[in-house]
A and B are shown apart, each in its own frame.
Chain A
Amino acid sequence: MDFELSDEQRRWQAKARKFATEDIRPVSLARDAIEDPAKTWDWDLFTKGSKLGFRTMAVPKQWGGEGTDFVTQALVMAELAKADSAISKSFSQCWKWSHLIAQSCTDEQKARFLKPFLADDTFVLGKGISEYDAGSDNRLPPDDPRAGLKLKAERRGDEWILNGSKAYIANGNIGKLFFIDARTNPNVPLKQGITMFLVPRDTPGFRSGKVFNKSGWRFYQNGEMIFENARVPHANVVGEVNGATRKSGGSGGDTTGGDLFGDLELAANALGICDDACESALKHARETKLFDRQLVQLKVNRMHALTEALRSFVLRVAWEHDKRIHSPNPGLAMNLSTDVVQEVTEIYMELVGGTPHADKLVRDAFIWSHLAGDTVQRLKTARRL
């Protein structure tokens, strides 16, 4: 049993804390307050973070990345999220899919996509699964072939022709490369009939649609993606045709970084919000002398107890990932993080009232409801037990 961090882990943590404090926090509330959802992104900030290594830190060293371990990644996500949860997610979203490239792409694909990704500070990754009529059905697919995503891909020679649309896709309007799940066999249940494609931004026939106007996580943009006879080379198929769920997102048996990382990602990010709420609450209580009151002490106690419990769970999950131990813990930690981040931020608001900061934290925390703590995510975890 050893809770000590390595020197390298501490270095990353300190670097993330510095960037978060000096660069992210000062712009966090202002970015959140931009009314047009398509204008919240800050390329200068993102580029600066990229140059510090925060965009590419999950790419293995042999491919020119930082090759950080999962514990380091969890620490960095929490530090960045402490200053702004959505900005932290903007960076970690790139890690999520660089795990996927590293684990599931051929060497030829890695050479074609990882190199430009590493070289360009504005190269952002995304993945398209959700559609307007297919959300929960993609996560817990029923056997009915009609259920689940509908984006169609048909083979024509050396190309695949994609038709349909995706909705609520993170980085959908700013990303340069996407992993797109498409239906390659509409006559079988979803799990056996979808294929994952690498779709670069400049793919003919692909364009971005509207940017969704979210109440929380406003910096982190979700877009609509439209495919009208979009032509994708066969060389961009990830893994096998009709084999996408075996590569990511399949309930239970994930073999790649994407799904494995995603659960940890949301839990670690929630931890950062909790740290922010705890620190801000304590500061407020002490400055206003409210801390003398028993009820305030009890609230602050509850916030810290929940936060520290979540920290223990997050770091354990990260450690298990580094040891390649498979367990339901990532899912459990992600589900629990929803309850924790929402209770902690609501208590924070009870203490300070509807300040712009508390308002942002509760709105950001509510995003967990549909990503990490909805009933489908909890059922999925239960079925892994």
Chain B
Amino acid sequence: MFDLRLSPEQLEIRDTVRDFVTREIRPVALASARLEAFDRPLLTGLLEEASRMGLRTLALSEDAGGAGADALTRCIVTEELAAGDPDIAAILAHTAALAPLLEGTPFLPPFLEDDGFHLAITDCNAAQGMLEGVAAGVANATIAKLFVVRTGSGALLVPRETKGVAVREQPGDWYHGSCGEVTFSNCRVPAANSIAAVGTIASVLPAISLGIGRAAYEAALEYARIRVQGGKPIIEHQAIAAKLERIAISLEIARAAVWRAAWASDHPEAIADRSLPDLSLQAVAEAYAPQAMLAAAKDAAECFGAMGVMRDMPLHKYVRDARICLHS
């Protein structure tokens, strides 16, 4: 049994998110003035709107108020969001992945009620109920209202306002979404906030590079059909057609790798029954997709000539965003 069909629910959510990204996110996220600005503040209004669509609570069980989405579905959603704004995609991907840890805890109701309630995960040493330590490069750090802190033996849920928690935004902008340094000093967390040890959380982050690569590809394809040089639309020149072909191929291979890794995490039994190799498919996806998508974004930008490096056009941002996926 080898089945690559998506379920009706997966197809529906893909269409819904794609429509939202096309109508709501892209016109704002890719407006010339925003592209040109060095500082691109987070589009918090759109982030909340995406949350109201259920994208923040996607992976929660239906009993807990979510959609019970598996890792593959989250990959699909993340790719769609990243085609509009990798920042929104990254933040929602992190929060959605962690949300199931709140099930059965008192933090679930406030999490469900507040569309701006985000989550982050980090590690810290704990001794006698006290957290002490500094964690750098924590995704969602500046926006999280609750931290999942792995302490080695187990994990603690630590609200942002807990005494002894300090967050500092990571300097520069070499990340997608939110990133920062979290310091715990003399931070006492009640034993009631303990949860069981956190197992492997399926990362859907390589899907961000897929969304960026696809956006770049679609832009180049559209342009190549209308831009006339050398007496015909440039897509009719072998040199450009071959470039677009190379992008399309790498996009398909990258998506296959990312989806396969997600499917593997959704079907842990598939290694035991010898359907899948005993190999980290997650590592395969993480190694392949970002580098292939950077090459794809660069190829796409080249189809635009000088416009491929102009800051009022999206291409330079696709290249940079793809590079951030690869080198962060």
Bound CA–CA A167/B312 (angstroms): 15
Q: Which of A130, A142, A215, A378 contacts B320 (CB 8 A)?
A: A215
How many pairs of residues, A versus B, come closer than 8 Å at their CB atoms? 83
**How far is B302's CA from A135's CA once the two chains are assembled, in angstroms?**
13
Q: Does B305 lie within 8 Å of A136, measured CB to CB? A: yes
Inter-chain contacts of A331 with B (CB < 8 A): none
> Assuming the A-B contacts A369-B301, A369-B302, A370-B302, are A147 and B323 also in contact, with contact meaning beta carbons closer than 8 angstroms in the complex?
no
Q: Does B160 interact with chain A (Cβ within 8 Å)?
A: no
Cβ-neighbour of A374 out of B305, B323, B324 (below 8 A): B305
Contact call B306/A135, Cβ cutoff below 8 A: yes
Number of interface residues of B (CB under 8 A): 31
In the complex, whether B319 has a CB less than 8 A from a CB of chain A is yes
| CB <8 Å contact, B230 and A137 | yes
**How many A residues touch B, CB cutoff 8 Å?**
37
Query: CA–CA, A168 to B234, complex, Å?
Result: 20
Q: Are B306 and A213 in contact (CB under 8 A)?
A: no
Q: Are A370 and B230 CB-contacts (below 8 A) given A214-B310, A215-B316, A379-B239? A: no
Cβ of A349 < 8 Å from any Cβ of B?
yes
Enumerate chain A residues within 8 angstroms of B306, measured Cβ to Cβ: 130, 135, 167-168, 212, 222, 370
Give the CA-CA distance A376 to B239 in the complex, in Å.
Answer: 8
By the criterion CB–CB under 8 Å, are B316 and A350 in contact? Answer: no
Q: Is the CB of B243 within 8 A of A375?
A: yes
The answer to whether B298 has its CB under 8 Å from any CB of chain A is: yes
Q: Which residues of B contact A356 (CB under 8 A)?
A: 172
A35-B38, A370-B306, A370-B308 are contacts. A349–B323 as well, Cβ < 8 Å? yes
A349 CA to B320 CA, complexed, in Å: 12
Cα(A369)–Cα(B172), bound, Å: 26
- Contact partner of A213 (CB less than 8 A), chosen from B174, B311, B327, is B311
Q: Provide the A340-361 mask, 1 if CB < 8 A to any CB of B, else 0.
A: 0010000001100110100100
Q: Name the one of B38, B234, B328 contacting A354, with C-beta atoms under 8 angstroms.
A: B328
**Nearest CB in chain A: distance from B215 CB, A:** 16
| A140 beta carbon closer than 8 Å to chain B | yes
Chain B residues at the A interface, C-beta cutoff of 8 Å = 36-38, 172, 174, 229-231, 234, 237, 239-240, 243, 298, 301-302, 304-306, 308-312, 316, 319-320, 323-324, 327-328
- 5 example contacts (A-B, Cβ-Cβ < 8 A) are as follows A33-B38, A213-B310, A369-B302, A375-B237, A375-B239
Binding site for B on A (CB under 8 A): 33, 35, 37, 130, 135-137, 140, 142, 144, 147, 167-168, 212-216, 222, 342, 349-350, 353-354, 356, 359, 362-363, 366-367, 369-370, 374-376, 378-379
Other 8 A-B pairs with CB < 8 A, given A137-B229, A375-B240: A33-B38, A136-B229, A147-B231, A214-B311, A215-B310, A353-B174, A369-B308, A376-B239
A-B interface, 10 closest residue pairs, ranked by CB to CB distance from nearest: A354-B174, A375-B239, A215-B316, A213-B311, A136-B229, A142-B231, A168-B306, A369-B302, A135-B305, A35-B38
